[in-house]
Structure 1
Amino acid sequence: MDSPQARTVDIAILGGGLAGNLLARQLRRSLPGLSLALFERSRETSFKVGESTVEIASNYLIRRLGLSTYLYENQLPKNGLRFFFDTPEKNAAMVDMSEIGSRHLPVFPSFQIDRARIEADLMRMNLADGADIRTGARVHDLKLHEPEGPPESRNASGMHEFTVTEGDTSYPVRARWVVDASGRASAIARQKQLRVPADHPIAAVWGRFTGHVDMDDAGTPEWRARVHNTARVLSTNHFCYPGYWIWFIPLGRGVMSVGWVGEHKIFNDAMRKPEGFLEFLKTHRAPWDLLKDRAELIDVLAYKQLAYGTKQFFSGQDRWFLTGEAAAFTDPFYSPGSDFIALYNDFITDLITRDHAGETRAQIADRSATYDEFMQFRYQATLLLYRDLYPVLGSFELLKLKWDFDIACYYNLWAAPYWHDQHLDLRQLKSDLRRKDFVLQGLENFSRLFQKLEAGFREKGLWHRANLGRFACALEGVHFANELLAPRPRKQVMRTSETIFNATRARALDLLADLGEAPSSSERTLPLYEFLLPSPLA
């Protein structure tokens, strides 16, 4: 690279992690005539969580960014999400645990990614594609140009301005568009006081291991045959307990990511240190059987609080944007982080493209506000999958019910529209947003139903009654998968939602009957609108 000097660029990306590098690639592919500079504080990429992708993110990586060959050659294909369940004493062998998982690689691809490796590779790709990549570059003294902001915050130049320090050298940068991809530090979120606490108190601890046991070589032939000898190790494996879960995610090249996520009341500071993390894992037979004393712990990291929101994601008319963890975060249980990156980056690229093409400030403002409202909706809907529901994780029966509901809704309401770019259709998006309160109410109703079941199971000591010896195919509830290959009319989406809701409620009523509770309504099938009203489902 040439020596640093004062510069003006069209697009500045602050942060060179996954979100920033993916956006840089997307913008270079979409707008090759615009200059782009990416500024990353670290000189080397590092181990981070967020290794597991799901179907929206994988579609984005393959279709939008053209990374299919790279992913299959340099990362690992993922065999879906997989869940194991234990005894109250946490002493079950893995082969005896009840299991939810796939019997073959899913039809819709996803990947396990080594974050440090993919970020380094993306930097090289972006540099080769004409992006100005600056590592060891600290961004500070950011001044946003906001024509309608308070006088003290306005930048008279019409450009965003900031200073970059590389070693002993500092230089000013001016940019027409600025994207904050700097992670939880988020310069723009701090400056504009955007960060919003989330009512979802969970913590996380994670590390990387080498020398671990091969899960697919550890069980009996009968246990391996139960999933048609598919590769369980390629799944995002969840060992589930009341209030927390332990993940095993393969990163390739002999490295396994192992982490714990759970409620604050279970977390303790000793787990932040290697010896404390290892001692905790040792109290769980099945996870520890995959590590034993031969596995070597490379590093340990932790977050005391994972979830948070933001007051605003984008200001297209003022030409600033947040992406990745600079914006918001919900929960890693279903691996939604990279899905959110796909949505952020699509919206940002679309807004910059339209702005560059000459759309009016009013048009950009309207579209930006709609995209922002959709991301707030998406954030709230995702948080409802987890908030107050961590106790459900410890029961095979309860999580199977919740999983079938969640995965079917994911494909029906979120994944399929993304695959057909309906999220970029302003008319479609505004129509969806007019119904958002009903969707959120429906999800809230099911959350309360799952909480009611969990309370009954806990009271009657039934949490663990089906946690051994059972197997359920993970996608058996997605009976409509073939319908998702083409855009569907709204009526079809609504009919599918009604089917999903009724199937879940019917099974929940059976479980309530096991608890000796008679539902307030004996109707086994309800019209869709009944699920979307603020009333109990049982």
Structure 2
Amino acid sequence: MPDPHANIDVLILGGGLAGLSLAIELKRRDSAITITVLERNTHPAPEAAFKVGESTVEIGAHYFSTVLGLREHLDSRQIRKFGFRFFFSDGREDLDATTEVGVRHALPMMSWQLDRGRFENFLGEHAASLGVDFRQGCKVVGVDLAEPGSDGAHQVRHARDGVESVSTARWVVDASGRAALLKRKLGLAKPHPHDANAAWWRVEGRLDPGSWSSDLDWKQRCQPAERWRSTNHLCGPGYWFWMIPLASDVHSLGIVCDARMHPLDTINSHDKAMAWLREHQPRVAQALDAPQHAVRDFRFLRHFSHDCEQVFSAERWAITGEAGLFLDPFYSPGSDFIAISNGYICELIGKDRAGARIGAHAELYQQLLFSFFDNTMTLYQDQYPLFGDALVMPLKVVWDYTYYWSLLAPLYTAGKIADLSLMGRLRKPLERATALNKTMQVLLRGWGEANAAAGYAPPDGRELDQSAIGWFRDLNGALVDSPDDAELSARIRANVERMELLASEMAQQACRQHPALSGMSPVDGTASADATAMLLPPVWYGLEDLPPSGKAASPTPGVALTA
């Protein structure tokens, strides 16, 4: 009989979200490819399995629904997400009297809340139905990579039911999560300075913030009243608290905080976390005291962000998912980076199977992935002190999503994230937008610091409805299109021009409130965009002295917004 452990095309270490989705994507691209997945745990996993990454956003949602073809499961067995929602409610019980940011009406591009246990059970079954050899209860004992420059096979030693075996494969992909088997073996760990911690747990039943008020007007802001389907963020200085509903009638909860402002030892047990909530989010604590919300589990993680020196190799190995890189959960980018990384790995394996040299592509794809990681990290690093600012943080959310929907998301949903020729033609607008974002993150941080020093806070009770901003809704809706290269290029260039207008407008408002901000930009030059009409309604700025008739003031000298 043929040795079932020999001559495998791709051996994937880890059968979680990243590993199983990679196996499915590879099979959808090439049904003849032989794939083995080694997973230490056994299925079925319990529903509401204890994993981070339950909220999807546009890239990850497109990956699961369209690239992997799993839309029917998502619609029938998971919860459609009602966007992100933010409450600036530190120390307050009256959630209905705080500033609320979210949508009244769902945006065009769908996303879902994932019960990870249910989803990974489905992925395992689906992968096996496609012909993937999914070996559960299989512990990786050691990895012996082929000699550099050789065409030999890699060897992986693994044990199952006390019996050790050796598998040989042309490709090895590490999707082992924080076990990081290849990263540890090859010494590729790279520390990251973003110092944030997290504690998270799950409780029985549904938590519905929409039921926490008897105010009829507040309740009717969302029709139907579905605040509970959002990824709800309850924000304060240096932290945010998540509430994510799962389809198995369980709610996922988590505290994420700047290590300097909220040390880990204040939240690293369930009792401590509840005491912390009673101080910072007392309305949540009250809801969790109800007997129907029994605690399922609890975990904490110190300094969760991490980097990696290398993730793709011409020597036919790769690293994907949390085994390589992890950002920050605030905007739920985990499945986005799985989607992008897996796509690049599929491209490399496909080229290798076609007999092409892959060294240059491995290097270029890695440069792109690292640049996406570094640019996205600017949204989080050193920005946690802003999270309690009910003026600046809503503006930052709009800015951050404009940046995401203008560049990375349309490139991915149009299937062009690995198109090196197109990326080369778009190099200048992409670099322009990257520099603009870096400058804006500095300006937003300075604005928040100036507000804190002045004791400024906008009026309470504001509703900031993202779905009412026409261009913002249309920017999201464009992600469901299928543009050709020329249309996509023109769209991205137009998106960058809009970013300049928005940046100019926000900078003008920052300097109207704090004139000292006019000289803080790290980029030389002045704002190139003369905003003649406001892209955001006046209420978003929370300032009473806005220019009349919705017109923005002329750009403030000295505020540099473009490279």
Would you say same fold, with TM above 0.5?
A: yes
For residue 218 of structure 1, report the CA deviation from its aligned partner: 3.4
The Cα offsets for residues 150-180 of structure 1, whole Å up to 9 and x where unpaired, read as xxxxxx7700101011131001110011110
Deviation at 1:492, TM superposition (A): 4.1
- Match status 1:412 vs 2:415: no
Whole-Å Cα distance in 2 between the matches of residues 118 and 177 of structure 1?
A: 26
C-alpha offsets along residues 398-454 of structure 1, whole Å, 9 cap, x if unaligned? 011111111111111111111111112121233445776544432221111011101
Q: Which amino acid aligns with 1:353?
A: G
Q: 1:395 aligns with which of 380, 383, 389?
A: 389
**Matched-pair contact (CA < 8 Å) for 1:11–1:176:** yes
More off after superposition, 72-81 vs 482-491: 482-491
> After superposition, what is the alpha-carbon deviation per residue over 1:95-128, rounded to whole angstroms, capped at 9, x for unaligned?
1221110112221000000111111111111122
Q: How does 1:308-457 map to 2 (within 5 A)?
A: 308-315=306-313, 317-359=314-356, 361=357, 364-432=358-426, 438-457=432-451
Distance in 2 (CA, whole Å) between partners of 1:373 and 1:524 is 30
Match of 1:300 in 2: 298
The superposition leaves residues 448-504 of structure 1 with CA deviations (integer Å, 9 ceiling, x where unpaired) of 101110110110112x434x2001122525154255522435354233222223223
Residues 343, 379 of structure 1: alpha-carbon distance in 2 compared, 3 angstrom cutoff: same
1:273 aligns with 2:269: yes
- The match for 2:513 is 514
> CA 1:193–1:429 in structure 2 vs 1: closer, same or farther (change >3 Å)?
farther
Whether the 8 Å contact between 1:207 and 1:258 is mirrored in structure 2 is yes
Correspondence for 1:526 among 525, 529, 535: 529
Partners of 1:9 and 1:136 in 2: CA distance? 19
1:228 aligns with 2:223: yes
Say if 2:51 is the partner of 1:48: yes
Q: Which residue of 1 aligns with 2:92?
A: 91
User: What is the Cα deviation at residue 270 of structure 1?
Assistant: 4.8
Does residue 1:75 correspond to 2:65, yes or no?
no
* Number of the residue aligned with 2:458: 465
CA deviation profile, 1:128-157 (whole Å, cap 9, x unmatched): 221111111111221112424xxxxxxx77
Which AA in structure 2 matches 1:448? Answer: V
Does the residue aligned with 1:335 lie in a helix, a strand or coil? Answer: coil
Count how many residue pairs are aligned between Structure 1 and Structure 2: 518
How far the C-alpha of 1:506 sits from its partner, in A, is 1.9
Residue pairs, 1:484-503, within 5 angstroms: 484=479, 485=481, 486-487=483-484, 488-503=487-502
- The answer to whether the 8 A contact 1:215-1:290 is kept is no
- Matching residue within 245, 251, 266 for 1:250: 245
For 2:428 and 2:458, locate their aligned partners in 1 and report how far apart those are by CA, in whole Å.
43
Question: Within 2, Cα distance between the matches of 1:508 and 1:85?
Answer: 22
8 Å Cα contact 1:8-1:175 kept in structure 2:
yes
Show the counterpart of 1:201.
Answer: 195
What is the Cα deviation at residue 198 of structure 1? 1.1
Deviates more, 1:134-143 or 1:494-503: 494-503
The one of 275, 285, 307 equivalent to 2:282 is: 285
Residue 142 (structure 2) aligns with: 141
Contact 1:313–1:375 (Cα < 8 Å) also in 2: no
- The whole-number CA distance in structure 2 between the counterparts of 1:213 and 1:436 is 41
CA separation in 1, counterparts of 2:112 and 2:168?
37
Q: Secondary structure at the match of 1:377?
A: helix
Q: Is the 8 A contact 1:506 1:524 kept in 2?
A: no
Alignment partner for residue 64 of structure 1, among 43, 67, 76?
A: 67
Q: TM-score, normalised by structure 1?
A: 0.90
Secondary structure of 2:472's aligned partner? coil
SS of the aligned residue for 2:201 comes to: strand
Superposition pairs of residues 153-172 of structure 1, within 5 angstroms? 158-172=152-166
Which residue of structure 2 aligns with residue 34 of structure 1? 33
CA 458–217 in structure 1, closer or farther in 2 if over 3 Å, else same: closer
CA distance in 2 between partners of 1:409 and 1:169 (Å) = 51
Residues 470 and 507 (structure 1 numbering): CA distance in 2 closer, same or farther, change over 3 Å? same
- Separation of aligned partners in 2, 1:492 and 1:336: 23
Q: 1:7 is paired with a residue of what secondary structure? A: coil
CA gap of 1:11–1:78, structure 2 versus 1, over 3 A, is same
Q: 1:208 touches 1:257 (CA, 8 Å); kept in 2?
A: yes
Per-residue deviation, 1:277? 1.7
Name the aligned partner's letter for residue 507 of structure 2: A
Alignment-mate amino acid for residue 123 of structure 1: G
Code of the aligned partner of 2:294? E
Q: Deviations over 1:312-345 (max 9, x none)?
A: 1211x21111111011011110000000011011
> Is the CA contact 1:498–1:527 (under 8 Å) kept in the aligned structure 2?
no
- Does 1:189 pair with 2:193? no
Tell me, in whole angstroms, the C-alpha distance in 2 between the residues paired with 1:201 and 1:353.
38
Partner Cα separation in structure 2 for residue 98 and residue 514 of structure 1? 19
**Offset of residue 223 of structure 1:** 1.4
Distance 1:405 1:480 in 2: 15
1:26 and 1:107, CA in 2 relative to 1: closer, same or farther beyond 3 A? Answer: same
* 2:497 partner amino acid: E
Deviation readout 1:176-196 (Å, 9 max, x if unpaired): 111100011111111222121
Deviates more, 1:452-461 or 1:226-235: 226-235
Pairing 1:122–2:123 present: yes
Cα contact 2:202–2:251 (8 A) shared by 1: yes
Paired with 1:515 and 1:51, the residues of 2 have a C-alpha distance of 39
C-alpha distance in structure 1 between counterparts of 2:54 and 2:162, whole Å: 34
In structure 2, C-alpha distance between the alignment counterparts of 1:445 and 1:262, rounded to whole Å: 24
Q: Give the TM-score, by structure 2 length.
A: 0.86
Inter-partner Cα distance in structure 1 for 2:465 and 2:234: 16
Structure 2 SS opposite 1:272:
coil
Contact kept, 8 Å, 1:417 with 1:423, in 2: the verdict is yes
Seen in structure 2, the aligned counterparts of structure 1 residues 205 and 492 have a Cα distance that, compared at 3 Å, is same
* 2:254 corresponds to: 259
Structure 1: stretches of 5+ with no match in the other structure: 149-155
Query: Does the C-alpha gap of structure 1 residues 407 and 107 become closer, same or farther in structure 2, counting only changes over 3 Å?
Result: same
Whether the 8 Å CA contact 1:189–1:195 is kept in 2: the answer is: yes
- Tell me the C-alpha RMSD between the 2 structures: 2.6
1:210 corresponding residue in structure 2 = 204
8 A contact 1:40–1:134 mirrored in 2: yes
The one-letter code of the counterpart of 2:465 is C
**Matched position secondary structure for 1:142:** strand
